[in-house]
Chains A and B, each alone.
Chain A
Amino acid sequence: MDLFDISEVLGGKVLKNILGIIFIVYILLSSSIFLRNFCECLQIVYYPSTNIIFVILFFIIAICIVNHLQFNASLKANLIFVPFVLISIIFLFCANLRYFTPQRIFPILGNGLFDTFILGIGNIYALNGVVFIYFLPPLLKEPEKLKKIAISSVCISSAYLILSVSIILFMFPFFTGIDEIIPLYTAATYVEFGSFFQRLESIFLLIWIIAFSCYLSIVNKFAMLLFKKITNIKHSKPLIFPFAIIILAISLIPKNYAISKFYEVHIYRYFMIGVVFVLGIVVLALSYFKEKKKKVIKNE
Chain B
Amino acid sequence: MRVRKVVALGATLTLAAVVSACSSGSGGGSGSKTVNWWTWDDKQAAAYQVCATDFEKANPGVTVKISQYNVADYFTKLTAGFVAGNAPDAFQNSVQFFQAYASQHQLLPLDSYIGKDKFDLSRFSVGVDAWKFTDGKQYALPLDWAATGTYYNSDMLAKAGYTANDVDNLTWNPDDGGTFGKMIAHLTLDDKGRRGDQAGFDKNHVKTYGFGEIAAKDFIGQTTWSSFVSTTGWRLGDRSNWPTVFNYDDPRFVKTMDWVRSLENKGYAPKIGQFTTSVSDVDLLSSGKVALETGGSWEASTFAKIPNLKVGIAPTVKGPDGNRSVLSNSNGNNIWAGTKNPDLAWKWVSYMGSEACQSKASTTGTFFPSIPASMDASAQALKSQGIDLSVFTDMLKDKVLYPSPVYGNGAAIQDAIEPLFEAYFAGQKNDSVFADMQNTTKSLLAKS
A and B form one complex: no
Chain B interface (Cβ < 8 Å from any Cβ of A):
none
